[in-house]
Structure 1
Amino acid sequence: MAATDPAALLTVRDLRVEFATSAGPVTAVDGASFDVRPGETVALLGESGSGKSVTAQALLGIVPKPAGRVTGGTVEYDGQDLLAPGTAGRLRGREIAMVFQDPLSSLNPVFRVGAQIGEMFRRHRGASRKEARAEALELMRRVGIPAADKRLDDYPHQFSGGMRQRVMIAMALALSPRLLIADEPTTALDVTVQAQIMDLLARLQAEEGMSLVLITHDLGVVADVADRVVLMYAGRVVETGSIREVYEHSAHPYTAGLMGSVPVIDGPRERLTPIQGAPPDLLHLPSGCSFRPRCQYAEPLCAEQEPPLVPSPGRPVDHRSACHFAERVLLDAEGMLHDA
């Protein structure tokens, strides 16, 4: 387990979240640990089902009940225990806000957009309708919605996907949170709009000085905006470090596989190398390392012992990986980078 960072705004240690199902309990997050410092952007990366969104739900205290529950670990925000009863609810919106994955399902279809944004000011700051409307208009302009004064009274279905996501960002920023969590903010958007949304988040973060947690399965989306990355697989953190360090010196086969499956626009035209197989069934995880059935480096040791998350051989101390053969993976990844 990594030592506690005294400068961190958010500290997550050994977080475990379990869901009760008809087939038995499922551990969706299995011992996740990471930090988020003030003003920093941290990306939670991984395939669908890796535990990224459930981790975010646990931070906000919105794990679906009664099936889901946090079964272990600690989560501290600015010295406050987020897992203590009532703490997350008290801080949600004011200190910690979230942009959800699907804005169309998150926005109420029967209320005008301006009213939904303004409700944040009315509920939390006691603003009048007129004051809330003025605040909503200013936020819509700030997030780049054209003709905001005319769009204020439109309904969610009258906005494009990218504009709806801007509305969700406006709502999240309403109370000037210190930590913003964005869960797949560019899903189902075309490449151009994706870039616009990411640029918007980066600009707003710089203006507000807030910390940002980006949840995504797309490595390319966060390459230019994240400071650090946390790779998750089957509910566990398998690699973490600075964005450049992890991308250029992958120490876990899963990370290396993800990197090999991303096309390089300005590089040589080569066939992509996908990761074979599929993510494991969380009800029937393999023994030892969960990635073992898909791993080209797998040996008998991998079935016997689950690798701990430890500093990667020969890399900076904050670059950590959970692989028995991290040194081999590093050498191969660096060889591929040199050949490219």
Structure 2
Amino acid sequence: MSLLSVRDLRVEFATSGGVVKAVDGASFEVAAGETVALLGESGSGKSVTAQAVMGIVPRPAGRVVGGSVTYDGRDLLEPGTAKGLRGREIAMVFQDPLSSLNPVFRVGSQIGEMFRRHRGASRREARAAALDLMKRVGIPAASKRLDDYPHQFSGGMRQRVMIAMALALSPRLLIADEPTTALDVTVQAQIMDLLARLQSEEGMSLVLITHDLGVVADVADRVVLMYAGRVVETGPIREVYEHSAHPYTTGLMNSVPTLDGPRERLTPIQGAPPDLLALPTGCSFRPRCRYADALCAEQEPALRDLTGRATHSSACHHAEGVLTNAR
């Protein structure tokens, strides 16, 4: 049984130019103890999907208009349900820790507040618990840094503080939204290794949101690729990486530089992501796709299992052809 189930999720935002369908029928599941990566370019709907799960879609402009989100059998779209589970059962690490942390409070106090508010801990108990967490996430000289302010930490260390806060109440599901944004490559690897280690130790489920395929290659079990608010391909990460069955996935793979092998010119995806206020008819990826034909212009492709591959799905009319050419 899935711990998290997202079915036909639809989220809209009212703008001065019209209604934006930020998430348009997204579906995926996360099993207990599983790591799932949500991938896609900026504007694909990844972060809004996470906001819907957490119950923090910005109001009044944004609202969930359809679908279902269930966590351990509980309906997260029911008023008050997500709020009651945030922190204790479901936690989130945001992409910009400097804006997420309160600049006027010491980090030890901010971490310890989780224990005081939710566990009724005393100040001394909360401080001790915060220190243990800071040590656990690998902050050097943690006892000396408890009373430092967020601006006194580097970007990587601030992200570790955010991870410590998210883990404070031992959630069963952790959502990490672009946790390595603006960090150098070495620190990115350290943060991903930390998340993988903590996920293994806690046995929690982990949803990683990113636009960088390389970041999650060695961490995720499954991948869900989104484009223009829709899921276009999903499956085991190695299966999708090595046998992509959607032109968008193939394009992303071809645009990633490699350090080993012969030097080759990268092949970028032509064009730009679509305007969500004026999506093309049929397949949203059609204007950028070399496989596009009349069928693609007339009919939006549904996400379907590939022939003989029950765990690998693609929303492309020519999925089998893309799969063959990608080998």
TM tier relative to shorter chain: over 0.9
Q: 1:220 aligns with which of 196, 214, 220?
A: 214
Residue by residue over 1:245-301, the C-alpha shift from the partner in whole angstroms, topping out at 9 and shown as x without a partner, is 100110000000000001122222111100011100000000000000000111011
Give the Cα–Cα distance (whole angstroms) in 1 for the partners of residues 90 and 173 of structure 2: 5
Runs of 5+ consecutive residues of structure 1 not aligned to the other structure: 1-6, 335-340
Q: 2:47 aligns with which of 47, 53, 74?
A: 53
Structure 2 residue 111 is matched with structure 1 residue 117: yes
Give the Cα–Cα distance (whole angstroms) in 2 for the partners of residues 183 and 333 of structure 1: 29
Structure 1 counterpart SS, 2:36: strand
The percentage of aligned residue pairs carrying the same residue is 85
Give the Cα–Cα distance (whole angstroms) in 1 for the partners of residues 150 and 277 of structure 2: 38
Which amino acid is 2:225 matched to?
L
Structure 2 counterpart SS, 1:224: coil
Structure 2 counterpart SS, 1:90: helix
Give the Cα–Cα distance (whole angstroms) in 1 for the partners of residues 142 and 199 of structure 2: 21
Structure 1 counterpart SS, 2:53: helix
Q: 1:323 aligns with which of 302, 316, 327?
A: 316
Structure 2 residue 67 is matched with structure 1 residue 73: yes
Structure 2 counterpart SS, 1:317: strand
The two structures have a TM-score, normalised by structure 2, of 0.99
Structure 1 match to 2:143: 149
Which amino acid is 1:317 matched to?
A
Structure 2 counterpart SS, 1:318: strand
Structure 1 match to 2:188: 194
Q: 2:34 aligns with which of 36, 40, 46?
A: 40
Structure 1 match to 2:86: 92
Structure 2 match to 1:29: 23
Give the Cα–Cα distance (whole angstroms) in 2 for the partners of residues 8 and 270 of structure 1: 42
Structure 1 match to 2:282: 288
Residue by residue over 1:214-236, the C-alpha shift from the partner in whole angstroms, topping out at 9 and shown as x without a partner, is 00000000000000000000000
1:170-249 matches, within 5 Å, as: 170-249=164-243
The answer to whether the 8 A contact 1:262-1:272 is kept is: yes
Structure 1 counterpart SS, 2:151: helix
Which amino acid is 2:53 matched to?
L
Structure 1 match to 2:246: 252
Give the Cα–Cα distance (whole angstroms) in 2 for the partners of residues 86 and 241 of structure 1: 32
Structure 2 residue 304 is matched with structure 1 residue 310: yes
Which amino acid is 1:300 matched to?
A
Which amino acid is 1:105 matched to?
S
Provide the aligned C-alpha RMSD in A.
0.6
Structure 2 counterpart SS, 1:70: strand
Q: 1:135 aligns with which of 100, 116, 129?
A: 129
Give the Cα–Cα distance (whole angstroms) in 1 for the partners of residues 114 and 261 of structure 2: 47
Structure 2 counterpart SS, 1:232: strand
| Offset at residue 313 of structure 1 (A) | 3.0
Structure 1 counterpart SS, 2:158: helix
Give the Cα–Cα distance (whole angstroms) in 1 for the partners of residues 258 and 109 of structure 2: 43
Which amino acid is 1:222 matched to?
V
Runs of 5+ consecutive residues of structure 2 not aligned to the other structure: none
The two structures have a TM-score, normalised by structure 1, of 0.96
Alignment length (residue pairs): 327
